[in-house]
Amino acid sequence: MPDPVEVKLFFNFRSPYCYLASKKLWPIVDDYDVRLLWRPVGGWHLRSSPDRAKSKMPLARQDVARFARRMGIPVNPPPVTTDPTRAGAGSLLAEREGLLRPYIVEVMRAEWAHGRDIGDTEVLLEVGERIGLAREALAAAIRDDALLAQLERNAAEAAELSVIGVPTFVIDEEIFWGQDRIDFVLDALRERRAARL
- Give pLDDT tens digits for 18-64: 999 999 999 999 999 999 999 999 999 998 777 776 778 888 889 99
Q: Can you give the pLDDT at residue 25?
A: 98
Per the model's pLDDT, the better-predicted residue between 192 and 51 turns out to be 192
100/92 Cα distance (integer angstroms): 8
3-state secondary structure of 22: helix
- pLDDT for residue 105 is more than 70: yes
Is residue 15 among the annotated active site residues? yes
- pLDDT for residue 71 is more than 80: yes
pTM of the model: 0.96
The third-level CATH classification (topology) of the domain covering 5-191 is Glutaredoxin (3.40.30)
Mean pLDDT of the chain: 95
Sorted by where each begins, the domain ranges of the chain are 5-191
What would the pLDDT profile of 4-18 be if each residue is shown by its tens digit?
Answer: 999 999 999 999 999
- pLDDT for residue 163 is more than 90: yes
- pLDDT for residue 82 is more than 80: yes
CA-to-CA dists, residue 84 to 65, 89, 117, angstroms: 21, 9, 9
Answer for the pair 127, 161: CB distance below 8 angstroms, yes or no. Answer: no
What is the mean predicted confidence (pLDDT) over 167-185?
97
Q: Can you give the pLDDT at residue 1?
A: 61
What is the mean predicted confidence (pLDDT) over 88-114?
98
What is the mean predicted confidence (pLDDT) over 133-155?
98
Answer for the pair 87, 133: CB distance below 8 angstroms, yes or no. Answer: no
